[in-house]
């Protein structure tokens, strides 16, 4: 892997397109500081604004800027080199015993470190020697860790570590290495050494060695520390980046033109020195070449506070950085946008506004360039960073339709970076997209693919941009709602119209308009890229989509589910329900989307309606702050029944026929008044009125008033009468036939009590519907008439008995059963009597107040006091002397058949509810005692048990009374002293 050349490495990393051939710019200006040096230069170092030059004659010469030349530069900085000729200020003879190999100023310690025969430390600024490390004799390389004050150096095959404690240097460690060290540098807590042709990491604590890789066959090892803590290790003409442990850093390769002699780092550049040139590269991937400065025979390279110092055998040059602003302009003009942006970050904090402006401008130009070269997502990232208005970006998309109120800015040339600003930007932004050719299918396919990619990039851009825009618009909406809710006096001059969709918000709200532009564009892009589900999700959340634009797009694409949500989110419930009704009808005809668009879908829509902003008032009152990223938290749902009940009624007619139960549940849950629903159905769907009232009654009887109950019964009765008329006309009427409606009528007549039975009785035919008539008589407390209907008209004694059982607790205990018994004993007479009573009851003008005393009238027909005895049975004042008269008079009528089997059955089944003595008095004389055993047996047994129980109770009470008397007797004698206790 390490043997690959630079071109192989670059193939592994996709590079962003370049607008034109790479252009270098001037990062440094070269200036000759010292020329015609009298002797050979062995070492060079900078100290503030001075240059320290080590000569081959073992002397040290100190140079400073020539003060005789007029200075037009800014105020003098004593710590910076100056771009002007330097003159000799001082010479320190015999500074070292041998020629200097290198020097380094330790500013934090105020010392100068020099390497010649040994390593020595000199005090600044006088340069007197204070320490010479004897053990460093013969050392050839060293490295200083200024943070910790540690010095490491290599001597032959040994590496020594010393520590500066503030007063002197103390030896810490010494380790052996395989061969002579040619390069050395601290690497965090470790030491990286170049031994022979290999790089190794030496553990400064344990001395353990680990190999990294070979340095190559030609160039010697070169170790360069980076400010980040990483290292650049030279391998021929490649600088390989590794971490502090020697592990390769991904994409960490710097390809120099030739193997460098020395490398220094001055952010943001890496400067390499080779025998023929100085090469400057950006210290960021892909480490592009920035500038090349030709300097022949240069052999020394150091970094000062503000410049790079390059020295040959008899000259010293200063490479002074070009102002960052000028570099930025050059890079942007040549299309090197990434490098220009990297330099912008190095501008001083005081120029923050200038930096932001330049970054926005460069991002914009870079985005246009990337967009034109097909890097759409990267382009959108830079548009996002440039903070341009979203309408500016949308101008690149002619297929996106924006609201009519939106003013789309015309594409403008970006000015202010260089005299030739427009060189990288087309006059017509539409030319950035390839245009399809009708004659070339491949070109059309590529255009479609490109359009899809551009829209996908736009979607990501709008989604990232949308958070703050929608948040700002929603904040305005919340403020408006809260102010309206609390009745703020300042709201009158704030808004002239109200926005139907999201509360009372000014129409001229800039935030609202921008949110509408964003959401509308995003919605279109989602549909155009085939993402209807994502578009639907957008509509389900808080959105500001333009209704007209989105509606047209959805209809053309048959995206009905999204169209429904669009209407719903904008409170356009009528339009939504119309569409939903249409879809349900189409799905029934074509069986398409039958599950999705069914009548139940209309019910679900009517149940819930989206309402945004209503919760704001409550939250404001509770001092609760809304988290804007959780839109569902404050987008609440309320039933549409509570906001527009008439709309619910209008669109519930269809579902009431298909899903009556669910529809009634909807009316109940929505608290729509039953009178309103009934009146609406009576006018628009009278055929569903009875069904509604029936279901309402079944679900909650308390919700239906007496008037509605009466109306429901009348509806059922009218349908039954119509059915009866049809069958009668065909002579097919059967009293025991029951249609579904008649069953409902009978059930309603029995179960509810809010209707008017007298009014219903008038509508019944005289020769039919006897069961209905019997129930109505019962509701009027005309029990005798009701029993007569069951016995003589319906001929169903079981119904008569069931009727007596049903009303047993509400009527005098024995009279009703005795009345039924009398009906069985005198069927012909009672029939005639009851027919007359019914006629009188129906024809009476005061049916609501007139009550027919059927038992009293019955006396005149029978002529017996026994019936009076039955009537007064509960008063227990009955004379049994006229029993025979009743039987005789009954027999005199002739043709009157006694219903003897029913009489015996009634006595045997209800013996405990009938007064036995009075029942025996009215029975015929020929009744056999054996037939009465089922009646008399349990009756006598019960009477005997009652008598026996009464006797026992009487005896117990007498005994108790006797005991009490004895106690009183004893008590009286004790009190009077008759007994001595």
Q: State how far the alpha carbon of 847 is from the alpha carbons of 758, 767, 836, 855, in Å.
A: 6, 20, 15, 18
- Cβ distance 868 to 883 under 8 Å? no
- Cβ distance 313 to 41 under 8 Å? yes
User: How many angstroms separate the CA atoms of 92 and 100, rounded?
Assistant: 13
pLDDT tens digits along 668-680: 776 777 888 888 8
Nearest in space to 718 (alpha carbons), one of 753, 676, 679, 748: 748
Nearest in space to 463 (alpha carbons), one of 529, 374, 553: 529
pLDDT at 603 over 60: yes
Which residues, including other chains, have CB under 8 Å from residue 308's CB and lie 6 or more apart?
28, 264, 266, 271, 278, 301, 302, 318, 319
pLDDT at residue 158, rounded to an integer: 94
pLDDT at residue 822, rounded to an integer: 82
pLDDT at residue 474, rounded to an integer: 76
pLDDT at 871 over 50: no
Q: Where are the domains of the chain?
A: 781-841+897-927, 931-972
Phi, psi of 390 (to 5 degrees): -65, -25
Is the omega angle on the peptide bond into residue 740 within 30 degrees of 0, that is, cis? Answer: no
pLDDT tens digits along 100-134: 999 999 998 999 999 999 999 999 999 999 999 99
Q: Taking the CA atoms of the chain, what radius of gyration do you get in angstroms?
A: 56
pLDDT tens digits along 480-489: 655 555 554 4
Is the omega angle on the peptide bond into residue 125 within 30 degrees of 0, that is, cis? Answer: yes
pLDDT at residue 524, rounded to an integer: 92
- Work out the mean pLDDT of the chain and round it to a whole number: 77
pLDDT tens digits along 391-412: 999 999 988 998 876 555 554 4
829 or 546: which carries more pLDDT confidence? 546
Element (H, E) at 581: helix 573-590
pLDDT at residue 24, rounded to an integer: 65
pLDDT at 1 over 70: no
pLDDT at residue 759, rounded to an integer: 84
Q: Which residue has the tokens 């390593």?
A: 119
Most confident listed range (239-243, 736-740, 761-765):
239-243
Segment 57-64 shows an average pLDDT of 93
DSSP 146-168: TTTTEEEEEETTEEEEEEE-SSS
User: How many angstroms separate the CA atoms of 548 and 554, rounded?
Assistant: 10
Secondary structure (3-state) at 129: strand
pLDDT at 852 over 60: no
Secondary structure (3-state) at 195: strand
866 or 700: which carries more pLDDT confidence? 700
pLDDT at 321 over 90: yes
Secondary structure (3-state) at 976: coil
Q: State how far the alpha carbon of 731 is from the alpha carbons of 47, 723, 960, in Å.
A: 131, 12, 77
- Encoded tokens for 256: 């120099």
Nearest in space to 119 (alpha carbons), one of 139, 99, 148: 139
pLDDT tens digits along 216-233: 888 889 999 998 889 999
Segment 418-431 shows an average pLDDT of 37
802 or 259: which carries more pLDDT confidence? 259
pLDDT tens digits along 434-445: 444 444 555 555
pLDDT at residue 883, rounded to an integer: 34
Segment 137-156 shows an average pLDDT of 93
Residue-wise burial string across 589-626, b where 16 or more C-beta atoms lie within 10 A, e elsewhere: eeeeeeeebbbebbbebbbebbbbbebbeeebeeeeeb
- Encoded tokens for 729: 């006309």
């Amino acid at each position: 892997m390490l043997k690959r050349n630079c071109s192989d490495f670059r193939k592994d990393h996709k590079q962003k397109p370049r607008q034109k051939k790479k252009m270098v710019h001037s990062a440094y200006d070269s200036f000759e500081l010292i020329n015609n040096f009298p002797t050979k230069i062995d070492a060079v170092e900078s100290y503030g604004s001075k240059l320290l030059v080590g000569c081959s004659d073992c002397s040290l010469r100190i140079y400073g800027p020539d003060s005789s030349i007029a200075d037009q530069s800014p105020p003098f900085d004593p710590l910076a080199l100056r771009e002007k000729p330097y003159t000799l200020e001082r010479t320190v003879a015999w500074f070292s015993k041998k020629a200097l190999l290198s020097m380094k100023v330790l500013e934090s310690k105020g010392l100068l470190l020099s390497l010649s025969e040994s390593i020595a430390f000199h005090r600044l600024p006088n340069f007197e020697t204070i320490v010479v490390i004897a053990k460093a004799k013969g050392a050839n390389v060293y490295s200083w860790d200024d943070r910790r004050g540690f010095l490491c150096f290599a001597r032959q095959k040994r590496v020594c570590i010393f520590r500066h404690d503030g007063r002197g240097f103390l030896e810490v460690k010494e380790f052996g290495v395989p061969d002579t060290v040619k390069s050395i540098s601290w690497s965090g807590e470790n030491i990286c050494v170049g031994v022979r042709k290999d790089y190794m990491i030496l553990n400064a604590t344990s001395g353990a060695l680990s190999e990294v890789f070979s340095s190559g066959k030609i160039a010697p090892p070169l170790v360069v520390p980076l400010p980040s803590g990483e290292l650049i290790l030279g391998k021929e003409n490649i600088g390989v980046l590794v971490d502090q442990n020697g592990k390769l850093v991904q994409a960490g390769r710097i390809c120099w033109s030739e193997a460098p002699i020395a490398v220094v780092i001055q952010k943001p550049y890496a400067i390499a020195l080779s025998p023929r040139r100085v090469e400057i590269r950006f210290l960021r991937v892909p480490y592009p070449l920035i500038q090349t400065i030709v300097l022949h025979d240069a052999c020394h390279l150091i970094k000062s506070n503000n410049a790079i110092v390059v020295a040959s055998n008899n000259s010293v040059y200063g490479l002074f950085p070009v102002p960052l602003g000028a570099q930025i302009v050059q890079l942007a003009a040549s299309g090197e946008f990434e490098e220009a942006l990297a330099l912008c970050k190095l501008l001083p904090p005081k120029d923050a506004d200038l930096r932001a402006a330049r970054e926005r401008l460069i991002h914009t130009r870079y985005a246009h360039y990337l967009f034109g070269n097909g890097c759409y997502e990267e382009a959108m990232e830079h548009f996002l960073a440039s903070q341009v208005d979203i309408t500016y970006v949308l101008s690149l998309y002619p297929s996106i339709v924006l609201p009519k109120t939106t003013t789309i800015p015309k594409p403008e040339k970006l000015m202010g970076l260089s005299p030739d600003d427009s060189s990288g930007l087309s006059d017509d932004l539409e030319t950035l997209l390839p245009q399809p050719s009708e004659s070339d299918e491949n070109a059309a396919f590529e255009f479609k693919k490109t359009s899809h990619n551009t829209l996908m990039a736009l979607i990501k851009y709008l989604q990232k941009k949308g958070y703050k825009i929608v948040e700002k618009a929603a904040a305005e909406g919340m403020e408006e709602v809260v102010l309206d809710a609390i009745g703020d006096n300042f709201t009158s001059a704030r808004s002239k119209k109200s926005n139907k969709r999201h509360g009372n918000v000014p129409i001229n709200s800039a935030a609202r308009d921008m949110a509408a532009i964003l959401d509308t564009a995003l919605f279109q892009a989602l549909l155009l890229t085939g993402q209807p589900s994502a578009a639907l999700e957008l509509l389900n959340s808080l959105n500001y989509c333009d209704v007209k634009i989105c509606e047209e797009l959805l209809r053309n694409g048959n995206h009905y589910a999204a169209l429904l949500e669009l209407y719903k989110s904008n409170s356009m419930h009528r339009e939504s329900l119309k569409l939903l009704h249409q879809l349900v009808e189409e799905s029934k005809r074509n069986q398409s989307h039958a599950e999705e668009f069914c009548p139940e879908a209309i019910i679900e829509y009517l149940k819930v309606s989206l309402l945004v902003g209503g919760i704001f008032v409550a939250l404001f009152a509770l001092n609760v702050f809304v988290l804007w990223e959780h839109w569902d938290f404050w987008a609440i749902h309320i039933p549409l029944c509570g906001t527009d009940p008439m709309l619910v009624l209008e669109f519930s007619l269809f579902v009431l026929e298909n899903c009556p139960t669910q529809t009634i549940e909807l009316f109940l849950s929505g608290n729509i008044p039953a009178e309103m629903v009934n009146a609406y159905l009576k006018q628009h769907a009278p055929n569903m009125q009875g069904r509604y009232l029936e279901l309402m009654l079944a679900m909650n009887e308390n919700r239906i008033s007496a008037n509605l109950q009466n109306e429901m019964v009348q509806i059922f009765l009218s349908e039954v009468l119509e059915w009866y008329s049809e069958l009668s006309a065909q002579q097919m009427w059967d009293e025991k036939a029951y249609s579904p409606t008649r069953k409902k009528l009978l059930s309603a007549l029995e179960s509810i009590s809010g209707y008017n039975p007298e009014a219903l009785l008038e509508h019944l035919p005289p020769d039919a519907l006897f069961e209905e008539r019997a129930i109505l008589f019962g509701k009027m407390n005309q029990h005798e008439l009701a029993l007569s209907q069951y016995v003589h008209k319906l001929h169903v004694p079981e119904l008569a008995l069931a009727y007596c059982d049903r009303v047993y607790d509400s009527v005098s205990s024995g009279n009703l059963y005795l009345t039924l018994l009398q009906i069985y004993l005198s069927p012909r007479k009672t029939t005639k009597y009851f027919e007359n009573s019914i006629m009188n009851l129906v024809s009476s003008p005061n049916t609501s107040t007139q009550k027919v005393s059927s038992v009293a009238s019955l006396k005149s027909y029978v002529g017996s006091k026994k019936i009076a005895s039955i009537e007064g049975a509960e008063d227990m004042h009955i004379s049994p002397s006229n029993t025979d008269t009743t039987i005789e008079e009954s027999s005199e009528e002739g043709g009157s058949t006694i219903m003897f089997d029913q009489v015996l059955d009634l006595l045997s089944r209800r013996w405990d509810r009938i007064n036995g003595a009075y029942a025996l008095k009215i029975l015929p004389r020929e009744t056999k005692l054996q037939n009465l055993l089922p009646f008399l047996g349990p009756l006598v047994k019960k009477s005997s048990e009652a008598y026996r129980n009464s006797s026992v109770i009487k005896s117990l009470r007498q005994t108790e009374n006797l005991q009490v008397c004895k106690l009183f007797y004893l008590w009286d004698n004790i009190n009077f002293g008759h007994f001595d206790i």
